[in-house]
Amino acid sequence: MTKVAEKNVWRILAGRAISFVLLSLLLIILLGAKIASAQSASSSSLIVAPSTLVLLVGEDYALSALDATGRPVSGAEWALSTPIADFHVENGEAHLDALSAGRATLTATFDGQSASATISILSGSALPPATVRWSLEPTPGYETP
């Protein structure tokens, strides 16, 4: 290979390396900005998980209060809008014991923030076909478009 050809090969390789580095930096910057905006958007969020719950009379379930990163929050205050279930707080979770058919809202409050879950209690020995037992709301700031 001649010296001229060798120089051209090195120029091409250097150009590709620079392009790769620039594209990598751009990707890092864009992803970093997206992650930072998602974290700042959700930094004061409180979530109750699950956000909807269907139980039969006699069943029990534990719900959790979560911070913006999905970590359990201990010390949340809990309130049930309608006395369709007994509940007590244990290790930061609200433990429900379904007493009678009906619908209620369970609200967690922590550090000036509040979040709720919809609780439905049905009578009978089995849930109706295709009943969704529980569901979760998307974590604020982390939804997919």
> Tell me: the pLDDT tens digits for 60-96?
999 999 988 888 998 999 999 999 999 999 988 999 9
Task: Pull the structure tokens for residue 58.
Answer: 């006699």
Per the structure, the complete domain to which residue 8 belongs is given by 1-41
Of the pLDDT bands very low, low, confident and very high (cuts 50, 70, 90), residue 46 is: very high
CA distances from 7 to 1, 16, 34 (A): 10, 14, 40
Q: Is residue 7 part of a domain?
A: yes
The verdict on pTM exceeding 0.75 is: no
Judgement on whether residues 117 and 74 belong to the same structural domain of the protein: yes
The share of the chain scoring above pLDDT 90, in percent, equals 57
Judgement on whether residues 56 and 36 belong to the same structural domain of the protein: no
Rg (CA), the chain: 26
